[in-house]
Amino acid sequence: MKELESIYCVLSQLYVSLSYDEFEDLVYDMRHVDYKMFGIMNGEILITYAGVVIGTNFYHKRHLVVFDFITDEKYEADRYGIMMLDYLKDYAKMAMCEKIVIQNYFSKNDEVYKKNGFEKLNGEFVKTI
């Protein structure tokens, strides 16, 4: 339960209208699509969070879908987001994915994604790995 509260504190910076009860219900529902939660912690404080699913479709083939990606605004100047992108790239490779597709993100991070090999396609950031 404490882990979910930590995730909610950071994730609510991305989804400001999401209540904790809605968040908890959605986490339960997303287990059915094998939603994975990754975080970078500093002690007991969650700094960066990513929620992902392995997806397959005709357009991207087998790919890692990053539904939720955020670094706590207090730590944005640090390199935690880039560390998470590196981890997600390794995770996607191990899962035999061809691409990483980031769907929900802060637009102020556009340059970070571009510097890390992502290109913007149809409102998503996509990187072939």
- For the chain, what are the domain ranges? 2-128
Helix (H) or strand (E) holding 84: helix 80-94
Instruction: Please answer whether residues 76 and 40 qualify as being in contact, where contact means their C-beta atoms are separated by less than 8 angstroms.
Output: no
Kindly give the confidence (pLDDT) of every residue in the chain, 129 residues in length, as a single tens digit, with 9 standing for 90 and above.
588 999 999 999 989 999 999 999 999 999 889 999 999 999 989 999 999 999 999 999 999 999 999 999 899 878 898 999 999 999 999 999 999 999 866 556 788 888 899 999 888 999 999
d(CA 90, CA 72): 22
Top CATH class, 2-128: alpha beta
- Quick one: DSSP state of residue 15? S
Burial class (CB in 10 A: 0-12, 13-18, 19+), 107: exposed
pLDDT of amino acid 29: 94
| Cα pseudo-dihedral 109, 72, 46, 32, rounded to 10 | -60
